Structure 1
Amino acid sequence: MDAITVLLIEDDPMVREVNRGFIERVENCRVVGYASNGREGLEQIERLKPELVFMDIFMPEQDGISTIRAIRERELPVEVIAVTAANDRKTIRQILQYGAFDYIMKPFTFERMKQAISHFKEYRERFKKGQQLTQDELDNLLHGISSIEGLEHGEPLPKGLNRATLEKINHYIETRKEPTSAEEVAEGVGLARVTARRYLDYLEKQNKVKLILQYGGIGRPVNRYEAVRGN
């Protein structure tokens, strides 16, 4: 798989370095350039032609909203992931209306950024194949839901389980290349481990994930989960 090329548009050098470190921890992902404001960012996009831009919203000279609007007006072939402390409804709505691929709020974890990049990888590969998509595949790309949607019209969820959280956990596991533990799921989705385990137990009973016992050194084996494909 070709490496995903990334441009960082962020005015804070320390935050920019943290973002760079997180991004380059992800396999086949490479930062090719930096910009400290939207105006510089547009110049770098046209010069470096990255596939993906990680962009702050509040920046000097030209903010993120103006920048993503300009990206769309110029029809630049790049996807944008907003990485920002902005959490007001108006800003979020504007960024999403201009077609941001994802929106990550500061502070964030490495797992959340990795999840966004994994989703982009899946998106890129689907469209590179040039094949027709089913509705289920399109829903998965656009909304992060797939076979879990079939549960919507089935039996009611057990008390204390939320469908949106269930879909988020299911999507998280589907994007993992390797089986993942309940602790990793909890960290990636933002739940307590005991809560994540309840959702995982339910998904296993519904045959959406399967349990794998991973044996290591001395001690009890670790429970790990992976998606049941083609279900």
Structure 2
Amino acid sequence: MTPIRLLIVEDDRKIAEIQRRFVERLENVELCGIAHTLADARDLAEVMAPELILLDVYFPDGNGLDLLRELRASDSSSDVILITAAKEVETLRSALRGGVFDYILKPLVFERLQEAVNRYREHLDRLSGLHQLAQKEVDALLPRGTGEDDPAKRERLPKGIDALTLDKIREVTARGGQWSAEEMGGEIGASRTTARRYLEYLVGNSELQAEVTYGSVGRPERRYFLKS
């Protein structure tokens, strides 16, 4: 799976170092640069063309929201997760108008960043799997998809579990056989970590069973199959 190329834009060097360490712990994410000023961020965003930017708001040489607006005005393909201490409602409104993918308040914790990046990866997976739009696919991609026909609402899915991805896994397991998380990820076009999260959800939901098997070299592997 192609890694997500990520750029950190943070003027505080200690905080940037913490973010760097967090990013290195994420699966299938490649750090392509760290910018401590907006001027450096503009150059790196243009040259490196990251898929995802972790962006602060307050910089000595300007406001991160200005960079966000510049990216959108230039039709940049980079998506943005705002990581900021700004708690003003107007800052949030400006960020939403600018099309941020997520808005995380400092201090940043690893689990919150991991959740945001996992949701972003699933968002990319859904986009890459679309060939022709139907309304339910659009509703699943956009936050306005909250009607009564929304599968996530009917099932009350937990955070980090998307209805479309879940349906894909159900379709695969319905064929029968046993699946590892890595095999399932390859089948649906997602990471092993993402597939394992959904498979474990289905185990907890009593739809699948899991058992540990040992390969030729004795490495334990958890495999999933329909509950009998």
Question: How many angstroms does 1:208 deviate by?
Answer: 9.7
Question: How many angstroms does 1:179 deviate by?
Answer: 4.2
Q: What residue is the counterpart of 1:81 in the other structure? A: 81
RMSD of the alignment, in Å?
3.2
Relative to 1, partners in 2 of residues 1:136 and 1:36: Cα closer, same or farther, differing over 3 Å? Answer: same
1:138-149 alignment, distance < 5 Å? 138-143=138-143, 147-149=151-153
The percent identity for this pair of structures is 31
1:22-61 alignment, distance < 5 Å? 22-61=22-61
Relative to 1, partners in 2 of residues 1:94 and 1:210: Cα closer, same or farther, differing over 3 Å? Answer: farther
CA contact (8 A) 2:119 2:160 kept: no
> Which deviates the most, 171-180 or 65-74?
171-180
> Which deviates the most, 26-35 or 129-138?
129-138
1:99-118 alignment, distance < 5 Å? 99-118=99-118
What are the superposed Cα offsets for residues 110-138 of structure 1, whole Å, 9 maximum, x if unpaired? 12111111111112222223412443333
With normalisation by structure 2, the TM-score equals 0.67
Q: What residue is the counterpart of 2:70 in the other structure? A: 70
Relative to 1, partners in 2 of residues 1:214 and 1:102: Cα closer, same or farther, differing over 3 Å? Answer: same
Relative to 1, partners in 2 of residues 1:48 and 1:15: Cα closer, same or farther, differing over 3 Å? Answer: same
SS in 1 for 2:81: strand
Q: What residue is the counterpart of 1:177 in the other structure? A: 195
Q: What residue is the counterpart of 2:188 in the other structure? A: none
What are the superposed Cα offsets for residues 166-216 of structure 1, whole Å, 9 maximum, x if unpaired? 55x2x3244843248xxxxxxxxxxxxxxxxxxx9xxx9xx9944878899
Q: What residue is the counterpart of 2:177 in the other structure? A: none
CA contact (8 A) 1:148 1:208 kept: no
Point out where structure 2 has 5 or more consecutive residues left out of the alignment. 166-193, 213-223
What are the superposed Cα offsets for residues 69-121 of structure 1, whole Å, 9 maximum, x if unpaired? 11111211110110111111000000110111111111232121111111111
Q: Distance in 2 between matches of 1:134 and 1:18?
A: 41
With normalisation by structure 1, the TM-score equals 0.67
What are the superposed Cα offsets for residues 21-60 of structure 1, whole Å, 9 maximum, x if unpaired? 1122111001110111222211111111111100001111
Q: What residue is the counterpart of 1:150 in the other structure? A: 154
Relative to 1, partners in 2 of residues 1:119 and 1:71: Cα closer, same or farther, differing over 3 Å? Answer: same
Question: What is the one-letter code of the residue matched to 1:82?
Answer: L
What are the superposed Cα offsets for residues 128-175 of structure 1, whole Å, 9 maximum, x if unpaired? 234124433333332287522236xxxxxxxxxxxxxx55x2x32448
Q: Distance in 1 between matches of 2:34 and 2:10?
A: 8
CA contact (8 A) 2:11 2:36 kept: yes
Q: What residue is the counterpart of 2:94 in the other structure? A: 94
Question: What is the one-letter code of the residue matched to 2:128?
Answer: K
SS in 2 for 1:172: coil
1:187-206 alignment, distance < 5 Å? none
Q: Distance in 1 between matches of 2:21 and 2:209?
A: 31
Point out where structure 1 has 5 or more consecutive residues left out of the alignment. 152-165, 181-199, 217-225
